[in-house]
Amino acid sequence: MIDARDVTKRFGEGASAVTALERVSLHVPEGSFFTLLGPSGCGKTTLLRLIAGFELPSEGEIALDGEVIGHLPPNKRPVNTVFQNYALFPHMSVARNIGFGLEMLNRPKAEISATVEEMLDLVQLGAFAARRVDQLSGGQQQRVALARALAPRPKVLLLDEPLSALDLKLRKGMQGELKRLQAETGITFVFVTHDQGEALAMSDQIAVMSAGAIQQVGTPEEIYTTPQSRFVADFIGDTNIVPAELLGYEGDKARIRFAGGQAVLANAASATLAPGAVHVAIRPETITVCDAADEAALLHGTVLDSSYFGAGSQMRIRLRGGTEVQAQVAQPSPTGCEVGLIPDTSMLQVLVD
Amino acid sequence: MGQGVEHTLSAAESLRQAAAARSSAQRRRRLFLLLPAVTIIGIFGLAPLSIALLYSFLEPGTYGGVEWVFSTDAYVQFLFERDIFDDSLIFNSAYLQIFARSFGLALFTMCGTLLLGFPVAYFIAARPPEQRNFWLFAITLPFWTNLLIRTYSMLLIVRDEGFLNLTLMKLGVISEPIEMLYTDGAVLVGLVYSFLPFMILPIYASLEKFDFSLLEAGHDLYASRAQVFRHIVIPISRPGIVGGCALVLIPSLGAYITPELLGGGKKLMIGNLIAMQFGSGRNWPFGSAAALILMALVLVAMMISLRAGAEKESRHG
């Protein structure tokens, strides 16, 4: 569907030039809900604007269905955008906003009004066709922006942090709404967000970005359970990042040892790291807490505190090396108690720094 | 019990009275606050207009001023000439031509300022906010100098041995000076120059809050650059365009100094015609009548354009 090949984008000239994207390659499958996730300034919005045509790549090319589109102006691309601030036309009614794209494509009037009707139904705003857009609430404006971008039936819909202006409750509702719209229309969605929860909940695939480069692409589950780099593990949530020693590779597994423990096999994305100090990601829900004297314990530490969260308790433990980790358990050990930790080795992930 | 009811009634009555007193006091205060504005409009707006209306129906005095005799001659004179022998009325289009020429020139001035002013206003509105004040300052800077002086400088630039002709001759573009001064073109340039800020400022005001992401939204929805301009930029800046056009058209209809200096007074404009009646012409009633006819024509033109604007608005909804 969308293929970006070695796309670099620089702003400015000469010495003051800022590189927003550095040789980014990406494949977005047809009909998928694809998310670009990263902190602000990571280049995700720049990548979206390159696909939309608001910016032209400094190097590299972007293709849609095998056809290179990187040089085309936005009005020549079968791609529409939902803007962060919606950018609805304030001097037009809701219906005319939605029909604007088709009007510019010179579609017959009957077709335009039929499509507008259909879109109004799709976003459940049937009663608002004649309203002025400034008479709508934020959530309603959001739906108009969606309907307006979907009305010309683009091959790709780009969404630039569309939910960030909504309050929490509305945002949760719109997440479901967006998933439904994507499934109903079958249009490929490229969604930009800095909210990892949003990305995990909605996406078929996520590309995690940082510093103008793509760190990892995968399904939400892959990104969550097998983060490949320290950045991804850190960004995707409350995972523990613990120092360890890499002894070597055995097949596609890595042999590692935590300080004072025995060697175990952990998952590794690729056998590229030299033996020595590495970081390993351990999910809090994969840790079993045992007696300090237990031979199976790979890590040792002191319980700092624990808090009850309903389905269990969250314990904070300071390891002997000084690193703090969290573990989710059914029965927390008392504060100050020495404990041993047994992580599920099938869920251990060696990280690239 | 009965006493209680009476008591309640009188209490309600006194409350009502108090409220009435309060509202009438409020009304008095409001009128009092309006007084300065009403006084100024009355003295400087309505009174001169009433005097002009009154004078236009009197007879001219021999040495200026008016004779207090009712007459509609001033209005008749606008369209007709009195035959010196038999006193019959003959149609005379001389004054109509002056009006037509003035309207034509004012329309050209309006179009000229719009064509030059819109891009400037758009440019300023597209600057980052901290840079805009500088540009607005630059636009209003000429106002610090008297219009007369600015018009004289213009005269120095466009005359036969002026800056423009000398430069062109030195560059070898022309061998003889082009006669620019005392032409309609010179008057037009002078008017466009003096009224340009009146076009730029209202359009800038309507574009100041313009959300430039709307351009991207339009462009994204298959509109070409020209279509984005036509369907998004123009409609949103329409109030500024209409305001700017009115602010340029109306005063340039009555412009006096510019046609006098740059046009050499060779061809009369309304402003010069009216000024003449109060000076060498010594025909105050006719001057007043010409001024009122001009005002009536402007009012009619404005009402038509306002109605057209309102219809357009309601059609688009």
Domain boundaries, chain B: 2-55, 94-316
Alpha-carbon distance of A63 to A43, in angstroms, equals 19
Is the pLDDT score of A91 beyond 70? Answer: yes
Is the pLDDT score of B4 beyond 80? Answer: no
Q: Are A60 and A47 in contact (CB under 8 A)?
A: no
Alpha-carbon distance of B279 to B291, in angstroms, equals 15
Of B213, B222, B317, the CB nearest to A101: B222
Is the pLDDT score of B205 beyond 90? Answer: yes
Is the pLDDT score of B31 beyond 80? Answer: yes
Of A87, A104, A130, the CB nearest to B227: A104
CB contact under 8 A, B220 and A91: no
Residues ≥6 apart with Cβ < 8 Å to B114:
B199, B241, B244, B245, B248
CB contact under 8 A, B221 and A148: yes
With bands split at pLDDT 50, 70 and 90, how would you rate the model's confidence at B1?
Answer: very low
pLDDT tens digits, A144-177: 999 999 999 999 999 999 888 788 888 888 888 8
Average pLDDT, chain A: 89
Percentage with pLDDT > 90 across chain A: 38
pLDDT tens digits, A288-325: 888 888 888 888 888 998 888 888 888 899 988 888 88
Which of B109-113, B136-140, B256-260, B283-287 has the lowest average pLDDT? B256-260
pLDDT tens digits, A183-224: 988 999 999 999 888 899 899 999 999 999 999 999 999 898
Alpha-carbon distance of B206 to B217, in angstroms, equals 19
Alpha-carbon distance of A209 to A200, in angstroms, equals 14
Instruction: Using an 8 Å CB-CB cutoff, list chain B residues near A75.
Output: 219-224
pLDDT tens digits, B161-184: 888 888 888 888 888 888 888 888
Give the residue from A241, A257, A236, A255 showing the smallest Cα distance to A299.
A257
Neighbour-count burial of B13, counting CB atoms closer than 10 A to its CB (0-12 exposed, 13-18 middle, 19+ buried):
exposed
Residues ≥6 apart with Cβ < 8 Å to B174:
B165, B168
Is the pLDDT score of A237 beyond 80? Answer: no
Instruction: Using an 8 Å CB-CB cutoff, list chain B residues near A165.
Output: none
Which of A153-157, A316-320, A339-343, B302-306 has the lowest average pLDDT? B302-306
CB contact under 8 A, A87 and B231: no
Is the pLDDT score of B314 beyond 70? Answer: no
B216: how many CB neighbours lie within 10 A of its CB? 19
Is the pLDDT score of B308 beyond 70? Answer: yes
pLDDT for residue A32:
92
pLDDT for residue B317:
42
CA distances from B103 to A24, A266, B111, B301 (A): 62, 88, 12, 11
**CATH 3.40.640.10, domain B94-316, yes or no:** no
Alpha-carbon distance of A149 to B41, in angstroms, equals 53
Instruction: Using an 8 Å CB-CB cutoff, list chain B residues near A85.
Output: 211, 213
pLDDT for residue B146:
87
Is the pLDDT score of B235 beyond 70? Answer: yes
ipTM, interface predicted TM-score of the complex = 0.81
Average pLDDT over residues A224-253: 86
pLDDT for residue A13:
82
Alpha-carbon distance of B167 to B156, in angstroms, equals 13
Instruction: Using an 8 Å CB-CB cutoff, list chain A residues near B219.
Output: 54, 73-75
Give the residue from A73, A71, A62, A78 showing the smallest Cα distance to A25.
A62
pLDDT for residue B315:
55
Q: Which of B222, B233, B238, B316 to mutate to test the interface with A (most CBs of A within 10 A)?
A: B222
Average pLDDT over residues B187-199: 92
